[in-house]
Amino acid sequence: MTVTQSIAIPTTMQQEIVTAENLVAGYPGKTVWRGASFGFDRGELVAIIGPNGAGKTTLFRLLLGLQQPISGLIKIFNDQPKRGNPRIGYVPQRHIIDSETNVECLELVHLAFCGHRWGFHLSSKMGRKTALDALEAVGAAELAHQPLSVLSGGELQRVFLAEALVSNPDLLLLDEPLSSLDIRRAKELVQLVDRVVRSRNVTALLVAHDINPLLPYLDKVVYIANGKVATGKPKEVLTSERLSALYDVHVEVIRDSRGNVAIIGIEDHHGDEQ
Amino acid sequence: MQHAFEAGTLVAIIAGIVGYFVVLRRSSFAAHALSHIGFAGAAGAVLIGISPVFGLLLFTSVGGIGITALGPRASHRDVQIGTVLAFMLGLGVLFISLYTGYATEAYSILFGEILGISSLDVIVTAVAAMIILCAVAAVYRPLLFASLDEEVAEAKGLPMHMLGIVFMLLVALATSIAVQVVGVLLIFSLMVTPAAIAQRLAKQPWRALLASVIVSLLATWLGLFVAFYEPYPVSFFITSIVFIFYMVVRFIYPRIRWNPIRAQTKPLINRHYADQPCQ
């Protein structure tokens, strides 16, 4: 489907979806984080975790081309990030759906498919079919004719995921999809994202507050705190030694008998001068 | 009476369509403010002896662009918009007091005077209606998407600022012509309430648009019809009919419908979660 695969380039290059080298992000006069280097391959599920205000959403804004890096290199599909990249599916944080918004789910997903086209067109069979397929892919086909205003948090997240998937992207950016869900719903959504990632071979970056529901499925983790970024496989990154060395404070990573992780010692320090 | 019917029909169609986007974007206060800004324009036009609709068009268009210039999500900036609104009303009062003619002019700007509409006004209304229809047809899908899901639309590269300006200009135009029918103070009854009713009746935007147009058409026609036999203002009848429609749809309709669109409570058990094995 993608053009890049037909071009004869080394396999490793071809698979790389996102790369960053020594990336510094922020706004003029204020650095949010610096020194980020990472690479995400096709078909990987990556969690981006860290305390509030550490700059997790900033990373998404860079990838979406809504914000420019202060310095360093960021590439997406071996190209500069640009606004409106059709190969990215995006689910923003805190999607507010007004209780008066009576529009049905299928219409929202359909608009994500054709909403960028000008001119009047009541409804296309093909577009509606594509939208319905996207809803089916997230197990929400029966929500198609439900208005957005009556959905539960978990159902909304499924519909938003369908909205992101409808353009058949290669990269999914999910900003805090678990934040308003209880543990069971969060687990179900993570399983769904994992299924989507494996079956469609897309890369998904998922911003989360708590890494534990994600741990069994993750390929990589990006830990952002105190203006620094640690990245790698969860087992390598989430260790007391690695995080202590990176942040120059004593950090303890505690694991319980079920494999749940708690990171202690870093969140107290966050939010200070860069 | 024929002029009133022609202008009323055009205004009802336009207000029904533009009003749907106003409701979807939750910009009803901005729309309300635009009509008040238009009041100063209309009063100024009367003062210099031209048709109020020209003053309305000028002031609402400039006002609409001004509100957009406040920045993204400007339609939620109640305080700034309200401040300008009050100033404009004050300006309108000054113009009216400077005008030495009949006090009925002020009255008709505030509450509408469709029966006194001239053939020139009908032509201006028709031209404005055509412009609005063409513009809505051109930006229909992007405007709908940007109104429904701002953040995703922005990330998808839609020209949000341009769409914001187009939307406010549409509201400005629609307000200007609607003021002739219901007046500055009663603009809600044609620009917001029919669309709010429609939103409760239909889940698909094009159906909601249709319902919105039908409601405002019915209200306008019925209002004109009753006013032909009764010596009370048309705008009173229109606002009352719209209000009755709203009450019926808001309180009676959900009870008689076996499967209300807007369920008041969320289902206790979610079907497809219940189907799946819990891990």
B148 CB near a chain A CB, below 8 Å?
A: yes
Contact between A108 and B208 using a beta-carbon 8 Å cutoff: no
Sequence spans of domains, chain A = 3-96+169-269
pLDDT of residue B105: 76
* B123 pLDDT more than 90: yes
Q: How far is CA A24 from the centre of its chain?
A: 19
A195 CB near a chain B CB, below 8 Å?
A: no
Backbone φ, ψ for residue A172 (5° rounding): -110, 130
Pick from B8, B3, B61: nearest CA to B222: B8
Q: Which CATH architecture describes the domain B2-187?
A: Orthogonal Bundle (1.10)
- Shortest alpha-carbon distance between residue B178 and chain A (Å): 24
Percent of chain B clearing pLDDT 70 (strictly above): 89
* B262 pLDDT more than 60: no
Per DSSP (E only), the strands in chain A are 16-27, 30-41, 45-49, 71-76, 88-91, 171-175, 203-207, 220-225, 228-232, 252-255, 261-264
Per-residue pLDDT of B152-199, as tens digits, reads 999 999 999 999 999 999 999 999 999 888 888 888 899 999 999 999
Per-residue pLDDT of B134-157, as tens digits, reads 999 999 999 999 999 988 999 999
CA–CA gap between residue A170 and residue A14 (Å, rounded): 13
Backbone φ, ψ for residue A6 (5° rounding): -85, -15
Rounded to two decimals, what is the model's pTM?
0.86
In this structure, what DSSP letter does residue A143 have? G
CA–CA gap between residue A96 and residue B82 (Å, rounded): 25
User: Which chain B residues touch A155 with a CB distance below 8 Å?
Assistant: 270
- Nearest beta carbon to residue A102 from set B26, B158, B199: B199
CA–CA gap between residue B237 and residue B186 (Å, rounded): 11
- Shortest alpha-carbon distance between residue B158 and chain A (Å): 6
B206 CB near a chain A CB, below 8 Å?
A: yes
Residues in chain B, total: 279
User: Which chain B residues touch A151 with a CB distance below 8 Å?
Assistant: 266
CA–CA gap between residue B258 and residue B247 (Å, rounded): 19
The answer to whether residues A97 and A143 touch, using CB atoms and an 8 Å cutoff, is no
Cβ neighbourhood burial of B135 (10 Å; 0-12, 13-18, 19+): middle
pLDDT of residue B252: 86
CATH superfamily of A3-96+169-269: P-loop containing nucleotide triphosphate hydrolases (3.40.50.300)
Per-residue pLDDT of A110-152, as tens digits, reads 999 998 888 877 667 888 999 999 999 999 999 999 999 888 8
CB atoms within 10 A of CB A201: 11
Helical H runs in chain B? Answer: 2-24, 28-48, 52-69, 78-98, 104-111, 119-148, 150-155, 160-182, 188-191, 193-201, 205-229, 234-247, 253-256, 271-275
What is the predicted ipTM? Answer: 0.86
B133 CB near a chain A CB, below 8 Å?
A: no
User: Which chain A residues touch B136 with a CB distance below 8 Å?
Assistant: 120
Pick from A58, A55, A100: nearest CA to A81: A58
